[in-house]
Structure 1
């Protein structure tokens, strides 16, 4: 890689980003574990521009812009996935008020769906993750009416026909079937509107409750409903790595607040 005449030494950038001490960062560079814009850098004198260059260590993206915020919210039901609702319904503003930055949501969750929603001020990341062609994987737990059978689970993975075309779950698993309801885990990469609810209704088991437990590499874990927290360094690295893999010249649609409906609404 051609060294830049101006910029900051790479080991200092890594140390400032919290990757490791400057001495350990130098060792990482010498060992060939650091890449800048996809190219391995082993020269300790290399300088970069943290505002424009992309750095990863052992294949995991490093956040260099300290002004970017990445927040995980466990959205309650009865809340609109928007920073302002024209009809005066509860929205996401209360959950973003602890951050000075103007955050917005990546994709959406339906009004009656709870679970993992990402809030950020990183427009480029949001553009990639919300783009319909990227198809970030999402995992849902659905409580549904009736006793779901193994045959129904197999049908969900084979695919069902909906009004807007066929759809199949990447994975489907029956967690519980007792009494008059069942718990089903569905893994999907589709962002089609209310897709989980429509799939389960199509196989004869309407959704009673729905929660999104996973979004790409992020897991809801024990975060209580209605609570938000910043992503950890490892979570940020995983999310940035995912978004960089999906970025490219064809991912050019502008993204601000999520649209009310449509292919990239990610309603469920």
Structure 2
């Protein structure tokens, strides 16, 4: 007969898990629990003795997800031009391996940037998150800055947001704005959730303004900031929380409601 009274309780204390995750000290986490600011699997926790399984349970603080799975790695890269967005290019062109070799985990790129496009690329081994970020049905936006030929007029900006017809169907920008016009070129900012191939270049060419230079400055909640071209960094705790919150919300949304 098993003596249940002498068995160790299952799981790990919530305050210990969150302290280990870098949220706050155990004492502060206890205050957060008492204040009702922590949820486990969507339910607010008030018990200081609450135990969880860090490998299974989902925790958020003030509505922002907390990363408990330390095996997952999240990296931001400012991809230079001339690099193809693949881990091994069959044609022998420079690929992403030079930026992932320093990490122990096998990282993969979330979506792609053309070889002649620079900017924000996410590298991770979190397949579930990668799917949410890359699939257009979840509506995760990307912001691009394009230097284009010619003087872009306000009517053209309106046309981009109203919608244009391409060879593979209609497309429109979620947002578009003109940043600058000088020296025979214009600087245009486009916000899109489409994942179609070379979409910004094709859209701008369709309205008569071929792209000269293109950089992705933002992907979902992530901003490129001052990260130099050709450099990478791990996401901060706050950035990881924002991405995981987005990912969890996408999975809670009934199928189809996230589509645009």
Q: Fold match, TM over 0.5?
A: yes
Q: Deviations over 1:36-65 (max 9, x none)?
A: 111111111111110011110001110001
Distance 1:157 1:249 in 2: 26
**Counterpart position of 1:259:** none
- In the alignment, the residues of structure 1 paired with residue 126 and residue 194 of structure 2 have an alpha-carbon distance, to the nearest angstrom, of 22
Report SS of the residue matched to 2:137.
coil
Change over 3 Å in CA distance of 1:164–1:250 after alignment to 2: farther
Asked if 1:190 corresponds to 2:200, the answer is: no
The answer to whether the aligner puts 1:6 opposite 2:10 as a matched pair is yes
Give the distance between the partners of 1:249 and 1:127, measured in 2 at CA: 15
Contact 1:135 1:191 in 2 (8 A): no
1: CA distance between counterparts of 2:49 and 2:43? 15
For structure 2, which runs of at least 5 residues remain unmatched after alignment? 1-8, 256-260
The answer to whether 1:31 aligns with 2:35 is yes
Alpha-carbon separation, structure 2, partners of 1:34 and 1:12: 14
Residues 101-138 of structure 1: CA distance to partner in whole angstroms, max 9, x if unpaired? 11111111111110000001111111221223112110
Counterpart position of 2:84: 80
Question: Residue 117 of structure 1 aligns with which residue?
Answer: 121
Question: What is the CA distance between 1:15 and its match in structure 2?
Answer: 0.5
Q: Find the partner of 2:25 among 21, 28, 32.
A: 21
Task: Report the count of equivalent residues.
Answer: 247
1:175 aligns with 2:179: yes
8 Å CA contact 1:144, 1:207 repeated in 2: yes
Question: Of the candidates 70, 91, 98, which is equivalent to residue 94 of structure 1?
Answer: 98
3-state SS in 2 of match to 1:247: helix
Query: Where in structure 1 are there 5+ consecutive unaligned residues?
Result: 252-268
- Alignment root-mean-square deviation, CA: 1.3
Structure 2 counterpart of 1:105: 109
- What SS is found at the alignment partner of 1:147? coil
Q: Is contact 2:136–2:193 with CA below 8 Å preserved after alignment?
A: no
Per the alignment, residue 202 of structure 1 pairs with 206
**Structure-2 separation of matches of 1:135 and 1:191:** 10
Query: Moved runs in structure 1, 4+ residues, more than 3 A?
Result: 248-251
Tell me by how many angstroms 1:247 deviates.
Answer: 2.2
C-alpha distance in 2, partners of 1:126/1:174?
31
Give 1:186-265 correspondences, 5 Å limit: 186-247=190-251
CA contact (8 A) 1:34 1:41 kept: yes
- 1:143 paired to 2:160: no
1:162 to 149, 163, 166: 166
**What is the TM-score with the length of structure 1 in the denominator?**
0.89
State yes or no: 1:61 paired with 2:68: no
Q: Please give the TM-score of this superposition, normalised by the length of structure 2.
A: 0.92
How far 1:33 moved relative to its partner? Answer: 0.5
